[in-house]
Amino acid sequence: MKTAAELLAQGAEELRRAGVDSPALSARVLLARVLDCSLEKLVICLKDPVEPWHAEHFQQIIVRRSKGEPLAYILGCKEFYGLDFQVDPNVLIPRPETEMLVELIRGRFSPREKKEYADIGTGSGILAICIALYFPLFRCLACDISRQALLMARNNARKHGLLQRILFFASDMGQGIRPASLDFIVCNPPYLSCDDFEAAGREVRDFEPKQALLSRENGLGHIQRLKGVAEASLRKQGLLFLEIGSNQADAVKALFQDWAGLEVYQDLSGRDRVMAAVIP
């Protein structure tokens, strides 16, 4: 039987050869998952022998990771805004830059307010859920075109105790939402052009749902459609909080020029990332 330390060295070496990021840490995370223990516990049992079936399982997931499958899909979870979410290949893996949308909304409203909002293209449900957790009186309509994504979002909402305040709704970009029924909309739409998609890493291109990433009209197709849906479904003075591609600020400003209070905010790497605007 091999020890945990030997398996880790071997796994990390395989990941390194495959060009995977952070090979040593990834190997540790994967072995901890196989042994169902924490990273801290793993460190103190490095010299212990590992049962052959665990070693074999570890080897299998090292191979998956070496082929580029994202760690989040192998583990089936990903942290976002300090919370744990289930993910699978039907939903986009939450990105840290999307946390800006939650921050922005936390800066705009008070937890004592009562609002109704929609998360359009909810995916794993991260935005719908984080916002609902910080605003105990808000109610949410979470939409997605993918029924598998909605199931995942629903599981996540259940896990965070929010099934009472989030309603799930199968819809293409929020079509079918009741007119003038929302105080705000939050949306991380697909916004990559074909070129952006080709330039995205292999892990994104080969493993994440294309439907959640790619949009026609040079990446702006979904945002154009969202504008119409937002104009119909927002109440007076309703707000839209939108994630955009770092090269789309000018196009989005032009598209929303008839709206008020339009602001574009940069992410931590200084790239344009989110937009907020008020319906006229």
Footprint of ligand GLN (CB under 6 A) = 95, 188-192, 200, 204, 213, 243
Name residue 73's beta-bridge partners.
none
Quote the CA–CA distance of 19 and 156 in Å, as a whole number.
Answer: 32
* 126: Cα separation from own chain's centroid: 6
Quote the CA–CA distance of 149 and 166 in Å, as a whole number.
Answer: 15
CB of 201 to ligand GLN, least distance (A): 8
What are the structure tokens assigned to 91, written together? 């939903």
Q: Between 70 and 189, whose beta carbon lies closer to ligand GLN?
A: 189
Coil, strand or helix at 60: helix
Q: Between 238 and 245, whose beta carbon lies closer to ligand GLN?
A: 245
CB of 145 to ligand GLN, least distance (A): 14
Q: Between 59 and 211, whose beta carbon lies closer to ligand GLN?
A: 211
Q: Between 173 and 204, whose beta carbon lies closer to ligand GLN?
A: 204
CB of 214 to ligand GLN, least distance (A): 8
CB of 200 to ligand GLN, least distance (A): 5
Is residue 266 within 8 A of residue 279, CB to CB? The reply is no
CB of 10 to ligand GLN, least distance (A): 31
Q: Diameter of the chain by CA atoms?
A: 69
Q: Between 32 and 100, whose beta carbon lies closer to ligand GLN?
A: 100
CB of 206 to ligand GLN, least distance (A): 13
Any idea what the Cα angle at residue 208 is, between residues 140 and 63, rounded to 5°? 130
Q: Between 27 and 91, whose beta carbon lies closer to ligand GLN?
A: 91
Coil, strand or helix at 149: helix
What are the structure tokens assigned to 129, written together? 């859920």
Q: Between 95 and 154, whose beta carbon lies closer to ligand GLN?
A: 95
CB of 29 to ligand GLN, least distance (A): 22
Burial tier of 224 (Cβ tally within 10 Å: 0-12, 13-18, 19+): middle
Kindly list the distances between the CA atom of residue 8 and the CA atoms of 40, 52, 141, in Å, as whole numbers in the listed order.
14, 14, 44
